[in-house]
Chain A
Amino acid sequence: MIKITELYRNKQHSWYMLGRDASKPDNIIDTNQYLVLNQQQALLLDPGGIELFAPMLEALVKIVPLEQVQQMFASHQDPDIISSLGLWDQVLQNAKLYSPWLWEGFIRHFGMERTQFVPIPDEGMAIDLAGLSLRAVPAHYLHSSGNFHLYDPVAKILFSGDIGAALEPVDAPVFVDDFQSHIKHMQYFHQRWMPSEHAKHVWLRHVRQLDIEMMCPQHGRIFRGQAVQQFLDWFEQLPVGIACK
């Protein structure tokens, strides 16, 4: 069963993390899915792989009626991000999928008959959620060549996709409490999956201008408060793209 963690709540506006599914097969990487709710409209971030669809649906309807989920966001094209699309496509009404323009023709391979694809241009765009303006922040080549994160300026939450990700067992804590001891869980992931120093510095320059209280990756633990800055400083000095000698 997927664990639901409320990350933020202010009146009609809330954020949830859905993850840590103890019932998933062992050889499938654990993923964090997120739900942003505002004024009875919901946006599902990186809805997850096809193997996760049933437990995700079950968890989702514990938070919100399915009719209120009309928007999805896929940070990039990987199967753990969006291979469940063909099934969401059949259960969501009038849904839109926001995703990098670069991947439209690829993502459609997962099955998309009824969902409207909204291509995000390279420079990013605003995504409206019942009057709440969210921002698709470019994160190209981190790790996918067409890649976006999502920033909520009201909740001060950055959904950071694979940046900040850690490969850990499903019983790992939700939040990073001790940054130094968390490094070992994420170092190799960032060095091997992230290909470009230039892309890393461009992203850091942009993200350092944002007011972030919580940084939520798609795998592993969430950074909050001081741990956000600690992560940005650590990532800045970390050599990436290590497979090319």
Chain B
Amino acid sequence: MRLFLTAVVTGTAIGCLYGLVALGYTVVFNATRVFNLAQGMLVMSGVMICYVTLDVFHWPQAAAFGGAVGTSIVLSLLEERVVVRQFLRREGEGIGWFIATLAFSLVIETIIRNLYGDRAPAAVPSFLPVRSIAVGPISIAPRLFFVIASTAVIVVMLEIFYRRTWVGTAMRATAEDPEAASLRGIEPTRISSTAFMLGGVVAGIGAFAIAPVAGSNISLGLTYSLAGFIALAVGGFGSLRGAIAGGILLGIGNQLWDLYVDPRYELVAGLALLMLVLVVKPTGILGSRQLRRV
């Protein structure tokens, strides 16, 4: 039972990592209908900034946080301006943005890989204590607890942003009906920029939380991109809570699969979960069908 509970708690924390990437996808997708394939790489770039500031320069944690968030925002806005907007401006351009965001993600990965060179993967120090905290029969590492807490805070803040601010309301309006929103004076390009900036913020904060868990690992961009996508599809496209729920379900599922079945087939298990959910509920666990009255 103790092992099972440990797997559930650890899976929840790892699932939150996936959920954070899925949140980034959701924030951008809701406002632009663009599925930003570079989201995982934005997170990875933030993680590498944390590594450089903390491990190489030994700067304070605040610098790592600021660096990760700042870098993610800059890269995300750059992507929106240079890569995505060209496709959003043109009618009937199909899914050109899909390839464009994939290309942008590969550009980020290649540049960072060359900058990082062939150094060994290294741990990124956390400001939290190393030793685990006992919670009943199980214990949890503070850095994992921080991931869960960060995820909860980000979700709450996003919910407040969408419901209580004018920009958030405009983004929701654009998501629900872009044409009607545009007729009411909401500037689509401004919404697009804001969405990407928000995606960058989520990626940056997520990176700061993820860095002490994942370490300086360049391949995590691809890993988290895929896991985040599965989490998003399982939880439901467009739903903030669904993104997190999908991530947690995937994280716990992976941990239990590793514990009781065979870790070699972990990815297969994730994809099987995705297929199962999509067959039973095509909109995902917390997704909903969108109806438009005409």
- Whether both chains belong to one complex is answered with no
Residues of B at the A interface (CB closer than 8 Å) are: none
A-side residues, CB < 8 A to B, are: none
